[in-house]
Amino acid sequence: MDGCTSKQERRSMRSVNKETSTEKGRGRRPMRREMDEREKVMFEKLGAAWRVWRKERKKLREEVKRLRKKLEERDEAKTTTTTEERVYWKLIVEEMSIKNELDHLIIHETYSSDTIETLKEKIALMDGQKYEKERDIDLLRQSLRILGSMKNKKKGAPFPSMNLLIGTPNVWNVHNTF
């Protein structure tokens, strides 16, 4: 073992080892007590740190709640502003569409009134032309009557075809010839 050769030396070594081991065992107890005390102190410190951590955690949770509430209020304000802006722009778009419709109606009305005025002018012109044509027809009838009466005086007998032409104004289709 330790280089002892005799039994007795060996025994004495064993007893020395026993004594040292007993002393070590007894020496361990104070060390164990120190370790136990250190563990208790560490455990107490750990418990205190745990309590501080829980308080900090509670404070942080309250701060998070407060900040969330503040953020929600800010979002609501933005949403309200956004909603108000949407309503504002919607009204502007509606006003612009109404204005465009009115402009379209004004243009259409102007065009229609121009068209109506043009048509009225055409109708008046056609009425004037109708009056002139009827006048011309009356003049031609009178001329034919005069010519027919002059021929009748010269020959003494009227032509039956002449009398028909003079007496009946509907024989000629005046509207289709002009």
User: pLDDT tens, 31-86?
Assistant: 788 888 888 888 898 889 999 999 999 999 999 999 999 988 888 877 777 788 88
Residue of 111, 130, 110 lying closest to 122 (CA atoms): 130
Q: Is residue 150 part of a domain?
A: yes
174 or 127, which is more confident: 127
Both tokens of 84, joined, read 């108000």
Q: What per-residue confidence (pLDDT) applies to 130? A: 94
**161 close to 152: Cβ distance less than 8 angstroms:** no
Q: Does residue 35 lie in a domain region? A: yes
Is residue 69 in a domain? yes
Mean pLDDT of the chain: 78
Distance CA 172, CA 136 (A): 13
The number of folded domains in the chain is 1
Asked if residue 95 belongs to a domain, the reply is: yes
* 1, part of any domain: no
Q: When comparing pLDDT for 51 and 26, which is higher?
A: 51
- Please report the pLDDT score of residue 177 as a whole number: 47
Taking 90 as the threshold, does the pLDDT of residue 156 lie above it? no
The answer, yes or no, to whether residue 125 has pLDDT greater than 90, is yes
With respect to residue 111, please indicate whether it lies within any of the assigned structural domains: yes
- Amino acid identity of residue 157, one-letter, is A
- Least confident residue range of 6-15, 93-102, 122-131: 6-15
Residue 2 lies in a domain: no
43 is a domain residue: yes
Q: What is the per-residue pLDDT for 35?
A: 83
What domain range is 11 assigned to?
Answer: 7-177
Counting every residue written for the chain, the total comes to 178
- Please determine, for residue 91, whether its predicted confidence score (pLDDT) is greater than 60: yes
